[in-house]
A and B are shown apart, each in its own frame.
Chain A
Amino acid sequence: MSTLYERLGGADAVNAAVDIFYRKMLADDRVNYFFDNTDMDRQIAKQKSFLTMVFGGPNNYTGKDMREGHKHLIKRGLNDTHVDIVIEHLGSTLKELGVPDEDIS
């Protein structure tokens, strides 16, 4: 079976997905304050390699461990509600790109 990465359409699709997703995050006042001191280009690059890995594409993901990467955010009140918002935006991003529901879950 092909990977979700291939079905999505490879690198171009991941690039488009990350832009749409990150735009939704930055436009959402419930979560955007977490990104105030985050460099946009660097974060987008990390998200690309992270999502490529999640979708089963070729990647060289070298990001920090997830817990490590969010430690300073947890101190600032990051919790499960925020994670739900991330999942909501990721879900609607994939829908916009025409990914079938069974792939999204």
Chain B
Amino acid sequence: MAVVSYQKSKVVLQDNESVLQGLERLGEKIPSSCRSGACQCCLMRAVAGAVPAKSQEGLKETLKSQHYFLACQCVPTEDLAVTLPADDAVPVYPAQVISKKQLNEEITSIRLSCPAGFRCRPGQYIQVMQDSHIRSYSVASLPIEDGFLELHVRKIPGGSMSTWFHETCQPGMQCSFRGPFGSCFYVPDADRQFPILLVGTGSGLAPLEGIARDALQQEHEGPVVLIHGSLRESGLYHGNELTALQSANKAFSYRTSVVESGETESADIRQFAKSELTRLGAAGARIFLCGAPDLVNDLKVRLFLAGAASSHIHCDPFIINAAST
């Protein structure tokens, strides 16, 4: 059985136990959130021993080569010595809350100052650090053009970070974050003609809005279709902004899918996304799916079966988990 050393402690891992679980069993406080490899909050570094490839899936190459890994995904076959991330490889940035605005009943928009030296692509996510918690939030704005980082935070009953954003956080307050992470963003090709389909529900709109605006900013020429879904009309937000974006850009269409509306064409977001994909031409399309994990996973398979190339489907499932830290 592999032995994991961390600071002054050592733990012998049990069968199929991850580094995260083993260290928590010892009483160590290791940041984590999704526990499924999606949020990268449990990032650690191996200073001795080799980590399995699975625990590095989705990490940037620079982090991989420095032996960074995700503790929740790491069931090692050999002994490891591990540390929390170092500031030089994963810098922590200070930011100021510029403004806060309720977008609908559940979702609030938070604008943070963009710290000097920080670069990210719209659609990537940052990890906000507050008390001992770390949580991932997607960047909805164009940091350079807009001059700020905008996050759309959905309130999770009993959730530590989302409650902090909704109830405690006020303009003028300081917070810190690290990042960027993730590969859900616009990458232009030699030609900018390919269709783009973006689908999400709830605060899944955050990265999608960023990606769509980024593509248009970079003068993407192919059609860009964004579908925002919700159970009720009141769950949608940024309708005015997106309608204005549609009026200003021939290439861009903003569509909504509201279950309650009963619209035959659009109420079922799964069917609607599939028919839009077919209309756009599945084979060459780039697809972005963000938000509720069940929907993201269902759409991923469905749109793949409808002809989309697996390498052109980019997903950010917002996996929330019973959190311990």
Show the binding face of A for B, using Cβ within 8 Å.
Answer: 15-16, 18-19, 22-23, 26-27, 40-42, 44, 62
Whether A44 and B301, one on each chain, are in contact in the complex, defined by CB atoms closer than 8 angstroms, is no
Chain B residue nearest to A22 (CB atoms) is: B310
Q: How far is the CB of A69 from chain B (nearest CB, A)?
A: 14
With an 8 Å Cβ cutoff, the count of chain B residues facing the other chain is: 10
A26 / chain B contacts, CB cutoff of 8 Å: 301, 304-305
A62 / chain B contacts, CB cutoff of 8 Å: 53
Task: Decide yes or no: A27 and B53 within 8 Å by CB, A19-B310, A41-B310 being known contacts.
Answer: no
Chain A residue nearest to B58 (CB atoms) is: A41
Q: How far is the CB of B281 from chain A (nearest CB, A)?
A: 16
Interface of A is mostly: helix
Q: How far is the CB of B169 from chain A (nearest CB, A)?
A: 35
Show the binding face of B for A, using Cβ within 8 Å.
Answer: 53, 57, 300-301, 304-305, 307, 309-311
The answer for the CA separation of A17 and B156 in the assembled complex, in Å, is 42
The answer for the CA separation of A15 and B310 in the assembled complex, in Å, is 9
Task: Decide yes or no: A40 and B53 within 8 Å by CB, A15-B311, A19-B309, A22-B310 being known contacts.
Answer: no
The answer for the CA separation of A23 and B282 in the assembled complex, in Å, is 13
B301 / chain A contacts, CB cutoff of 8 Å: 26, 40
A15 / chain B contacts, CB cutoff of 8 Å: 309, 311
A16 / chain B contacts, CB cutoff of 8 Å: 309
Q: How far is the CB of B55 from chain A (nearest CB, A)?
A: 13
A23 / chain B contacts, CB cutoff of 8 Å: 304-305, 307
Task: Decide yes or no: A40 and B304 within 8 Å by CB, A15-B311, A19-B310, A22-B310 being known contacts.
Answer: yes
The answer for the CA separation of A62 and B50 in the assembled complex, in Å, is 15
